[in-house]
């Protein structure tokens, strides 16, 4: 069972590492994930007794755990729940801290008289006390982290602000004891540090909220209540109470509460919340509807087939949450550095103080340099570089109807060099129809169509479904089949009314040793883009059903878009080579492979796939499962079937094929942003920390502590702001 917790006190990448380390040390815990942006821990545990051990381990590391309510409908949490808490903390810090800074600057400006010095320093001391009190949690969490051996960003701030307070306090007490003027004693450092730190956390929180905007917008589509029909009575109930088989009424403009089938009514439904496609889809009796979609101007009565977390929308939300919390391989080096970053900075700060003292400088100069090192270092920039970009990308993808299974898949898609496209349901509309029938002279075509439809009733293939639909449209009798066999990639066999029949493609005929009759050879060359299904008995082929499936209108545009991104596109299909070549020319493809079995497609992909030159397979998620699994990245087109969600790394719910090109573009831009963020975070700390320590003092590059705090805040904001650019893709 999977459990989710809100983590208190987790503020930076170092915190994330400490929590993950604590949880991973508990036996019986599986697949732990720590979402830094939403401050959520999720894990799998075999029984509830493990949870108490997890809680104890996390609390021992200096953090708190609060179980999140487990409902059937997962909820995305807004970072920090509200902007008011960090904003209020910043305003209170500014209210008391700004006068301290003004008085300190007045003292440094040389206002005359010892009386003013005593008044100024005394007021600074009294005003800085509320600043410290307002931010007491920073000190409590920071010092607790030090005692637990898990220092964090707040530990650095607590040490910097604490040192900046204690040193002038000692100077003030010494002046009082000696009855001398407290010249040079100022409390500006802790006040300015905490003002800038709380300002940075407030701005960073707002930026994080914008990073999750798409995910929160997606969550807002989640239905809250449903109109349940109990006989003729209507009852409004929470969607969590819906069960499979319940009947629900959906009024015009209402939200469909669960996945189901229409029992009665007729309407158009806006499915953009799930597919990203804004064109409404007509729904009538017998059609499937999806939860969280918006009903049009008709009244629908639906029967629930899946509700809450089992609905497609629930699975989408859960997948988006898991992807946002997962880690991309590119972040591994940053994770290792973050685990050592804060202890390293503490050692550098200590070394800086001792170094300046050994060089003959006073305690004031030495502490100022050490405090600046603590204030300017920024592990948050390193920790946020990858997850904030991944979170924004998954939100943008979900809005467009593209789901990434995890961050590793998002990264892998950016590295592919070849895109393999299936034909039926991918390059074509996936809604084939019967164009014509050729049959042996002694047979009636409708009688043979009825036989073929009876066989194909048990098949999931789109061509078979088209035959069934045609037979039902002609009101032909579809009978039961015994000894039924579904031969993957070839066709079906079965006994209809005491006679053994088969319906499938040419490889199935060749496998059974059946040759084509004269009537089949006569017109076969005239069907360049039509796919034949052969109906045969022990006496040979009795009918050929020519099926047509039009090319998607956006197929050529998609191929051109992928090729502009430097990708080579290939079609693999089980259809005839003649059909593959004809449709390939229409789509603008230069390489098309026909007459391939599902395992042949997988073998072709494995042969083409090399390190640094990955292959992405785009298929329907059902018949292409072996090829999807063989590819470095499997991209499943379709209605988010369970097979697609389990087999493919990327699921495209948007009915437009262009979503595939958008997914590739999004993944490449995301990795570009991640690299930029990591480069910035590394370069910032590599330059800023030595500068703060005073190594650049010969060139007069010696920032004061407050400037270091400002630089630290800006560093995190730059990382988050850069990731937000992905929202415009």
| Sequence-ordered list of residues with C-beta below 8 angstroms from that of 547, at least 6 positions apart, any chain | 432, 433, 434, 435, 463, 466, 467, 530, 531, 532, 533
Beta bridge partners of 615: 418
Most confident option among 351-355, 381-385, 511-515? 351-355
> What is the sign, positive or negative, of the torsion defined by CA atoms of 437, 443, 446, 449?
negative
CA distance 308 to 491: 37
User: Does residue 130 register a pLDDT over 90?
Assistant: yes
Tokens 């669960």 correspond to 258
Contact between 436 and 415 under an 8 Å Cβ cutoff? The reply is no
pLDDT at 246: 92
Q: Using one digit for the tens of pLDDT, what is the confidence trace for 397-422?
A: 888 888 888 888 899 999 999 999 98
Please, what is the angle between helix 136-147 and helix 114-134, to 10°?
A: 70
pLDDT in tens, 63-112: 888 887 544 333 444 433 445 568 888 899 999 988 988 887 775 555 54
Task: Give the mean pLDDT of the chain.
Answer: 83
Q: Is the pLDDT of residue 648 over 60?
A: yes
Q: Are 630 and 606 in contact (CB under 8 A)?
A: yes
Residue in 619, 593, 613 with CA at minimum distance from that of residue 604: 593
CA 721, 74, 636, 546 torsion: positive or negative?
A: negative
DSSP H or E segment with residue 192: helix 188-211
Q: In whole angstroms, what is the distance from residue 56 CA to residue 61 CA?
A: 9
Q: How many Å apart are CA 274 and CA 252, to the nearest integer?
A: 19
Between 553 and 645, whose confidence is greater? Answer: 553
Burial degree of 382 (CB within 10 A; 0-12, 13-18, 19+): buried
Task: With beta carbons less than 8 A apart as the criterion, state whether 312 and 394 touch.
Answer: no
What are residue 403's DSSP bridge partners? 651
Which of 409, 430, 456, 465 shows the shortest CA–CA distance to 619?
430
> What is the C-alpha separation between 47 and 94, in angstroms, rounded?
48
User: What is the pTM (predicted TM-score) of this model?
Assistant: 0.75
Q: Which residue has the higher pLDDT, 69 or 315?
A: 315
Of 277 and 627, the one with more pLDDT? 627
Nearest CA to 324 out of 40, 636, 2, 717 is that of 40
Reported as type and span, the H/E element at residue 229 is strand 225-230
Q: 624 catalytic, yes or no?
A: no
At residue 413, the pLDDT reads 93
Q: Which tens digits make up the pLDDT trace of 450-491? A: 999 999 988 877 888 899 999 999 999 999 899 999 887 789
User: In the predicted model, is pLDDT for residue 493 greater than 60?
Assistant: yes
Which tens digit of pLDDT belongs to each residue from 656-705? 899 999 999 999 999 999 999 999 988 998 999 999 998 888 888 888 88
pLDDT band at 517 (very low <50, low <70, confident <90, very high): confident
Instruction: For 36-46, write each residue's pLDDT tens digit.
Output: 777 888 888 87
631-639 contacts at long range (C-beta below 8 A, 24 or more positions apart): 631/420, 631/605, 632/412, 632/415, 632/416, 633/409, 633/412, 633/413, 633/416, 635/413, 635/660, 635/663, 637/425, 637/426, 638/425, 639/312
Percentage above 70 pLDDT, the chain: 90
Give the whole-angstrom CA distance, residue 620 versus residue 638. Answer: 6
Are 693 and 369 in contact by the 8 Å Cβ rule? The answer is yes
Cα 614 to Cα 298, 359, 592, distances in angstroms: 47, 57, 18
Find all residues with CB under 8 Å of 405, minimum gap 6, and list them. Answer: 319, 323, 648, 649, 650, 651
Query: If 0-12 CB within 10 Å is exposed, 13-18 middle and 19+ buried, where does residue 217 land?
Result: middle
Q: Which residue of the set 422, 549, 620, 624 is catalytic?
A: 422
Starting at the edge strand that comes first in sequence, how are the strands of the sheet with 29-35 ordered? 29-35, 40-45, 2-8, 64-67
Residue 524 reports pLDDT greater than 60:
no
Does position 507 have pLDDT exceeding 70, yes or no? Answer: yes
Going by C-beta distance under 8 Å and a sequence separation of 6 or more, which residues neighbour residue 248? 226, 227, 228, 229, 242, 257, 258, 260, 301, 302, 303, 304
CA distances from 200 to 39, 195, 507, 626 (A): 18, 9, 67, 49
Residue 653 pLDDT grade (very low, low, confident, very high; cuts 50, 70, 90) = confident
Residue 212 has pLDDT above 70, yes or no: no
The pLDDT value given to residue 217: 67
CA proximity to 694, closest of 377, 368, 358: 368
What percentage of the chain reaches a pLDDT higher than 90? 25
Mean pLDDT of 210-217: 66
User: What's the pLDDT score for residue 84?
Assistant: 59
Token look-up 């998607």 returns 552
pLDDT at 563: 94
Q: In a 10 Å sphere around its CB, with 0-12 CB exposed, 13-18 middle and 19+ buried, how is residue 618 labelled?
A: buried
């Amino acid at each position: 069972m999977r459990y989710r917790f809100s983590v208190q006190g987790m503020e930076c990448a170092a915190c994330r590492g400490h929590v993950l380390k604590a949880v991973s040390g508990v036996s019986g815990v599986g697949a732990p994930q720590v979402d830094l942006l939403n401050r959520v821990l999720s894990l799998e545990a075999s029984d509830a007794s493990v949870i108490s051990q997890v809680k104890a381990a996390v609390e021992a590391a200096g953090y708190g755990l609060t179980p999140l309510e487990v409902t059937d409908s997962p909820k995305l949490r807004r970072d920090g729940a509200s902007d008011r808490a960090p904003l209020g903390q910043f305003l209170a810090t500014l209210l008391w801290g700004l006068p301290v800074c003004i008085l300190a600057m007045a003292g440094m400006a040389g206002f005359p008289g010892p009386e003013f010095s005593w008044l100024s320093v005394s007021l600074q001391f009294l005003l800085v006390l509320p600043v410290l009190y307002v931010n007491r949690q920073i000190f409590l969490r920071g010092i607790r982290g030090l005692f637990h051996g898990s220092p964090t960003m707040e530990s650095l701030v607590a040490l910097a602000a604490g040192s900046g307070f204690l040193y002038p306090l000692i100077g003030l007490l010494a002046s009082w004891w000696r009855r001398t003027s407290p010249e040079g004693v100022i409390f500006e450092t802790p006040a300015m540090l905490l003002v800038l730190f709380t300002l940075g956390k407030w701005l960073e929180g707002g930026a994080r909220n914008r990073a999750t905007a798409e995910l929160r917008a997606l969550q807002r589509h989640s239905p809250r209540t449903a109109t349940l029909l109990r006989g003729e009575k209507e009852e409004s109930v929470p969607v969590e109470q819906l069960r499979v088989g319940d009947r629900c009424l959906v009024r015009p403009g209402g939200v469909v509460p669960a996945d189901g089938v229409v029992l009665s009514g007729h309407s158009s439904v806006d499915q953009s919340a799930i597919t990203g496609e804004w064109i409404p889809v007509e729904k009538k009796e017998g059609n499937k509807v999806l939860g969280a979609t918006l009903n049009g101007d008709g009244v629908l009565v639906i029967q629930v087939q899946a509700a809450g977390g089992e609905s497609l929308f629930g699975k989408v939300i859960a997948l988006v949450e898991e992807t946002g919390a997962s880690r991309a391989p590119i972040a591994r080096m940053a994770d290792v550095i973050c685990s050592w970053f804060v202890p390293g900075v503490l050692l550098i700060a200590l070394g800086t103080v001792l170094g300046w003292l050994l060089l003959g400088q006073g305690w004031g100069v030495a502490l100022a340099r050490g405090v600046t090192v603590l204030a300017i270092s920024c592990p948050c920039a390193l920790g946020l570089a990858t997850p904030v970009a991944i979170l924004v990308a998954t939100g943008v993808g979900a809005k467009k109807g593209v789901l990434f299974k995890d961050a590793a898949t998002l990264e892998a898609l950016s590295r592919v060099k070849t895109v393999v496209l299936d034909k039926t349901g991918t390059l074509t509309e996936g809604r084939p129809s019967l164009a014509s029938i050729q049959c042996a002279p002694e047979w009636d075509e409708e009688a043979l169509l009825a036989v073929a439809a009876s066989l194909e009733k048990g098949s999931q293939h789109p061509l078979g479904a088209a035959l069934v639909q045609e037979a039902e449209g002609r009101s032909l009798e579809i009978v039961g089949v015994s000894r039924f066999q579904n031969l993957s990639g070839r066709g079906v066999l079965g006994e209809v009314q005491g006679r053994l029949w088969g319906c499938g493609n040419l490889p199935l005929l060749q496998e059974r040793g059946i040759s084509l009759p004269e009537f089949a050879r006569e017109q076969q060359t005239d069907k360049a883009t039509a796919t034949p299904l052969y109906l045969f008995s022990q006496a040979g082929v009795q009918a050929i059903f020519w099926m047509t499936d039009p090319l998607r209108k956006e197929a050529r545009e998609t191929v051109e878009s992928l090729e502009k991104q430097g990708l080579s596109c290939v079609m693999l299909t089980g259809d005839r080579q003649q059909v593959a070549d004809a449709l390939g020319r229409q789509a603008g493809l230069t390489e098309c492979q026909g007459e391939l079995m599902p395992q042949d497609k997988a073998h072709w992909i494995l042969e083409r796939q090399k390190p640094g030159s990955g292959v992405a397979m785009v298929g329907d998620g059902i018949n292409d499962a072996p090829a999807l699994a063989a590819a470095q990245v499997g991209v499943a087109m379709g209605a988010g079937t369970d097979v697609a969600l389990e087999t493919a790394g990327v699921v495209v719910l948007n009915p437009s094929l262009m979503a595939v090109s958008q997914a590739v573009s999004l993944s490449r831009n995301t990795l570009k942003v991640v690299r930029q963020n990591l480069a910035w975070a590394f370069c910032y700390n590599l330059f800023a920390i030595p500068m703060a320590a005073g190594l650049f003092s010969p060139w007069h590059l010696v920032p004061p502590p407050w400037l270091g705090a400002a630089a630290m805040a800006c560093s995190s904001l730059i990382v988050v702001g850069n990731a937000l650019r992905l929202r415009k893709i």
